[in-house]
Structure 1
Amino acid sequence: MSRPTAASTAAAVFIMACLLSPGVIREAAAAISCGQVASSLGQCFGYITGQGPLSQQCCAGVQRLNAAASSTPDRQTACGCLKSLSGRISNLNPNLAAGLPGRCGVSIPYPISTTTDCSR
């Protein structure tokens, strides 16, 4: 049996943190889940931690997440998941994370930041 890579371990931690985050409580009103957010962005870890290039798989995940978060409750849930997880990713580069949607050709109505008010 092969040993898990750092990327797969980070993805697993990201998914677990998302499932355990306070944003899950808001999920009842939204169709999107923190698990979907995590799985959509799993290929972005290398990039947002400065350990790899921006991949097509990452951008495809960003685009999938944007398409899935089509309602206000969905966007609020996704925002809450992203906000709570941003502090849990070691070596996260906030500038790379904030610029990720734009680099992938996606326009979102709020900044990716730990100070974003997801209720609006």
Structure 2
Amino acid sequence: MKLIGALLIAAALIAAVAPPSEAAIGCGAVVSYLNPCLPYVTNKGPLGGCCGGIKGLYGAAKTTPDRQSVCNCLKTLASSYKGVNLGKAAGLPGQCGVSIPYKISPSTDCSKVK
């Protein structure tokens, strides 16, 4: 359960970095992309292959609905999963060389993400 929560948060972070597209990306896809980030954001391992997932999610989220979907998924995960280091999760895009137009945080207004 903790692993899934952490993955969802990581996925949401990555999706938030992605450009807009027509079809929204589901939380399941976000979790798949961000699964390699789980050890890092839960303080149990190194960054490892996380950036590949972050960049893949960024590339997949091409529309505004995609980005908003990823943002909402990450936001939900960030606010519901207590084992994730929110500072590390928020810093993932920058560490992986991806720039997103919002902060990965439980307080982010995903409706304003473009």
Sort the TM-score into its range (normalised by shorter chain): 0.7 to 0.9
Match of 2:69 among 60, 66, 77: 77
Aligned pairs (5 A) from 1:1-120: 10-11=2-3, 13-14=4-5, 30-55=23-48, 57-120=49-112
Residue equivalent to 2:18:
none
* Alignment: residue pair count: 100
**Letter of the structure 2 residue corresponding to residue 14 of structure 1:** G
Query: Deviations along 1:2-46, whole A, 9 cap, x unmatched?
Result: xxxxxxx644x339979xxxxxxxxxx634211110100011111
Residue equivalent to 1:25:
none
Verify the 8 A CA contact 2:8 2:77 in the aligned structure 1: yes
RMSD: 2.2
Structure with greater contact order relative to length (CA < 8 Å, sep ≥ 6): 2
**Letter of the structure 2 residue corresponding to residue 67 of structure 1:** G
Q: Whose radius of gyration is greater, 1 or 2?
A: 1
Taking only the aligned residue pairs, the percentage that are identical comes to 50
Q: TM-score under structure 1 normalisation?
A: 0.74
- CA gap 1:69/1:31 in 2 versus in 1, 3 angstroms: same
- CA gap 1:83/1:53 in 2 versus in 1, 3 angstroms: same
Q: TM-score under structure 2 normalisation?
A: 0.78
